[in-house]
Amino acid sequence: MKDFNNMRSAINLEHLESSNLGAGRFYRGYVELLVQDIVNYFQDRTLFQKVPCPGCGGLELTLAYEKMGFAFERCLGCGSIFVNPRPDEVVLDEFNRSSSACRYWRRETLGLTEIQLNHLHGPNIQWLSELMDERFEVSPTLLDYGSSSPYFLNRAMDEFSLSAIVSFRPQLFECQSLAPSGIIFMPEWRDIPDGIDMITAFHSIERMADCRKFFTWAGKNCRKNGLLLLTTTTCSGFEYQVLGEHASNINPINRMNLLSLEALTDQIVAAGFEIVELSTPGRLDVEIVRSAMAAARGKIVEPFWEYLLHFRDEQTFNNLQTFLQMNRLSSFVRIAACKL
């Protein structure tokens, strides 16, 4: 049993509805295109790789469920859920670059308002700002893994005093021209001889073909006393524990890896970091589960949750979401770790 109580945690009680985020309004269109793209891109499953658990390397696995023709397995060792077998990194990169669904998603996000973009990226900007003020006396270097937002890169360039910004294995593709001038793009895996002060990976772990490779790389290339900051989705959270295969956010591209909190923290520590913050500041778990229940044609949750989320009032729902945050049981997780 792992004790997370000695780690700093952030609580965010500001009310948020999924409609505020903007991206939710075109998620359905994205999924419709994704279903067809999966048929077109992944017809030959003999090219898929069978992998050990990306959370702990374990081999004791069992089928959890299937989504869009992909099998999701559960690790009996750490509890992580992940696509297995799976396409390799080269195939995934090409899918993310060229598929209709991914191009549609990038095109639609360009139409989000400033307010919606700030809802999506503002918390990470604020988090970075606080940690930079706390940890660095001189301008640090920043490496952003899997950059997918020109908005984030532009704000980082405008608002922070950074000696360099590196976009590592960017996922900007046709939107790369919207990134600020002065960004160093590093499309391929390679080591950085002088190291990096801050490594960020926002909503990337769940999409990686090999996330253990990333943690090893981060441990090797982050400078002593540097920071690793990541946000991701965890199967330890309320949404996925309660809804399971009925969670609408699960698809084999965006949720290839749903690592447990235990697996996430173990990998970070094994890479040579000390965790200084572990938070699950999600604000939408209860809303998402209630919406899934309302849309379902039958019972999809256990009777206790069916009763509580159907008959109780908004105050109860708010209290439940607060409880999830305080006890690190929301499905959205953010972690800050210092290189030893």
Q: What is the reported pLDDT for 10? A: 63
Contact 335, 276 (CB under 8 A): no
Residue 14's pLDDT band (cuts 50, 70, 90): low
Render pLDDT for 172-213 as a digit per residue (tens, 0 to 9): 999 999 999 999 999 999 999 999 999 999 999 999 999 999
In this predicted structure, the answer to whether residue 271 has a pLDDT above a threshold of 70 is yes
pLDDT attached to residue 21: 47
Measured between its terminal Cα atoms, the distance across the chain in Å is 24
- Please write the tens of the pLDDT for every residue from 212-241: 999 999 999 999 999 999 999 999 999 999
Tell whether pTM > 0.85: yes
At residue 318's C-alpha, the angle toward residues 316 and 322, to 5°, is 115
What value does the mean pLDDT of the chain take? Answer: 93
Residues present in the chain in total: 340
CA nearest 267: which of 3, 2, 55?
Answer: 55
Query: To the nearest 10°, the Cα dihedral for 196, 91, 269, 225?
Result: 10
Class of domain 18-339: alpha beta
Q: What is the pLDDT of residues 134-143, one digit of tens each?
A: 999 999 999 9
Ordered strands of the 81-83 beta sheet: 61-67, 70-75, 81-83, 257-258
